[in-house]
Amino acid sequence: MKRLDAKVSQLADGLSVRRVLPQLAQRAVGPFVFFDHFGPVELPAGAGDVGPHPHIGLATVTYLFEGGFEHRDSLGTRQTILPGAINWMSAGRGVVHSERAPRGADPRRLHGLQSWVALPRDAADGAPTFQHAPAASLPLRDLAGARVRVLVGSAAGATSMVRTASPTLFLDVELAPGAAFDAAALAEEVAVYAPTDALVVAGEPLPPATMAVLGPGEVVVNTSAAPVRLVALGGDAIEPVRMWWNFVARDPAAIEAAARRWESGGFDAIPGEPDRVPMPPFTPRPR
């Protein structure tokens, strides 16, 4: 087991996140190159909104335990996400989106995860797309001591409706007291993360809000007297990618081009949203 501790970062006014990926010790788990955990938090009115910002070369994956977001993007999508559902936005060659409090839900309580999945070469420059999978559409399976909701990919004989560009796994698991879960067997690379509960992984304690990257045969065990909730994520290993701000690419020239496009107003706008998140200063890296 490789243990990854989170670093607290400010995402938006009133909303901080625990950022686990990427870090020097682990750049990715399968195609997951970014992993944020926010909340649980009570947000006052007007706090926690993330305004229009761009992406290239990745898919954003939003999953909530509590609260709600209204997703808007430059494709014209306007979709409220609620607990148990999946928002999967594939940026491809470029998309802009925002995440705001749903109408009538401000102030609000918020708790959830947002991650990025790096797109493979043959999809990284494709057209952007958006998928929404309601909670009721995602398969739920009962295993020995574990209730598994298949958010993305396949497990326990069930497959999510979410379409991916490479083999990807994302599960929401409720583990009964004393039960074991063999997550490592489900994909080439797998990590587990319990937002609020402690676990034992490969015989070692894992505190809440800490990620464990599993080795072959390493089993997750709930040693507490109550059920615990965890997510398992991973998939096939990917070739290394470069990341800067909200951009993912294998060629640094693609990141430089995206940065200049955002600065010059070259990305499509979100209908009805004239504002935009400013980009930090960009200095091209030597190639």
Residue 105 has pLDDT above 70, yes or no: yes
Residue 22 has pLDDT above 70, yes or no: yes
Domain spanning 2-235, CATH class: mainly beta
Please give the backbone phi and psi of residue 234, each rounded to the nearest 5 degrees, phi first. Answer: 160, -145
Lowest mean pLDDT among 40-49, 61-70, 114-123, 208-217: 40-49
Provide the residue type at 265 as one letter: G
| Percentage of the chain exceeding pLDDT 70 | 99
pLDDT of res. 222: 98
| Alpha-carbon distances, residue 230 vs 46, 55, 88, 192 (angstroms) | 30, 28, 20, 7
At 286, the pLDDT band (50, 70, 90 cuts) reads: low
In this prediction the pTM is: 0.96
Two tokens at 89? 């936005």
At 12, the pLDDT band (50, 70, 90 cuts) reads: confident
d(CA 137, CA 85): 8
Q: Say which residues have a Cβ less than 8 Å from residue 139's Cβ, sequence separation at least 6.
A: 149, 150, 158, 159, 160
Positive or negative, the Cα torsion across 238, 244, 248, 254?
negative
In the predicted model, what is the mean pLDDT of residues 37-53?
A: 91
At 287, the pLDDT band (50, 70, 90 cuts) reads: low
Given a contact cutoff of 8 angstroms between Cβ atoms, the answer to whether 66 and 195 are in contact is no
- Residue spans of the domains in the chain: they are 2-235
d(CA 8, CA 10): 7
| Alpha-carbon distances, residue 265 vs 91, 244, 247, 275 (angstroms) | 17, 18, 16, 11
Residues 250-284 pLDDT 10s = 999 999 999 999 999 999 999 999 899 999 999 87
Mean pLDDT for the chain overall: 95
Provide the residue type at 53 as one letter: H
